[in-house]
Amino acid sequence: MVSKSLYDNQIGDAGAQAIGSALRNKANLSILYLSQNKIGDAGARAIAEGLQTSTALTDLRMSVNQIGDAGARAIGSALRTKEDLSILNLSENKISDIGACAIAKGLQTSSELTELWLFKNQIGDAGAQAIGSALRNMANLSILYLWDNRISSSVVKVLSNNLPAKCEFWAENQRVRVQRASILASSSRVAPTPAPRSNTASAPLAASDPTSEQVRQLQARIAQLESNTIPRVSLQVLSQATAQFSESKRIGGGGFGKVYSGVWSGQRVAVKRLAADSIQGAPQFEAELKALSRFRHPNIVTIMCFAQEGKERCLVYELMANGSIRDRLDRKDGTPALSWQQRRNIATDIANAMHFVQTAIPRQPLFHLDLKTDNVLLDAHFNAKVADFGLTRSIPAQVDAHSYIKTKTIAGTYQYICPQYHQDGKVSIKTDVYSYGMILLELLTGQPPSLDLIANVRRELKRSRKIDAVLDKAIDWSPQDKESAHAMAELAEDCLQLARVDRPSFRDILTQLSQFVDQGSAHAHATMPQEPRMEHHHSSIEEQLQPHLDSDLVRSRMEQQQQHAQSAEVSAESISRLSHPHSAIKEQLSPMTNSIVVNASMQSQLDSEN
Residues 426 and 460 in one domain: yes
In a domain, 200, yes or no: no
pTM score > 0.75 for this model?
no
**Cα separation, 528 vs 176, whole angstroms:** 12
Q: pLDDT digits over 267-289, tens only?
A: 889 898 887 765 556 666 676 67
289 residue type, one letter: L
The range of the structural domain enclosing residue 305 comes to 235-318
Q: Residue 121 has what pLDDT?
A: 92
- Under 8 Å between Cβ of 84 and 55: no
In a domain, 216, yes or no: yes
Q: Residue 471 has what pLDDT?
A: 95
Pick from 318, 341, 374: which residue ends a domain?
318
Residues 453 and 339 in one domain: yes
**Cα separation, 197 vs 200, whole angstroms:** 8
Residues 239 and 345 in one domain: no
535 residue type, one letter: E
Task: State residue 405 phi and psi, 5-degree precision.
Answer: -110, 145
237 residue type, one letter: V
Residues 152 and 72 in one domain: yes
Pick from 318, 340, 374: which residue ends a domain?
318
Residues 421 and 368 in one domain: yes
Overall domain count for the chain = 3
Residues 145 and 107 in one domain: yes
Q: Residue 592 has what pLDDT?
A: 37
Residues 357 and 387 in one domain: yes
Residues 130 and 261 in one domain: no
**Cα separation, 505 vs 236, whole angstroms:** 45
Q: Which residues contribute to the annotated binding site for ATP?
A: 272
Residues 294 and 414 in one domain: no
Residues 437 and 546 in one domain: no
Q: pLDDT digits over 510-546, tens only?
A: 888 887 754 544 444 444 566 655 544 433 333 444 4
Q: Which stretches of the chain drop beneath a pLDDT of 70?
A: 1-5, 7-8, 27, 172-228, 254-256, 277-285, 287-288, 290-292, 294, 362-365, 389-412, 414, 418, 420-426, 517-610
Q: Which residues contribute to the annotated binding site?
A: 272
In a domain, 491, yes or no: yes
In a domain, 76, yes or no: yes
Integer CA distances (angstroms), 265 to 114, 208, 219, in order? 36, 18, 13
Q: Which of 41, 97, 349, 370 is catalytic?
A: 370
- Sign of the torsion formed by the C-alpha atoms of 314, 316, 319 and 323: negative
Is 552 assigned a catalytic role?
A: no
**Cα separation, 94 vs 536, whole angstroms:** 26
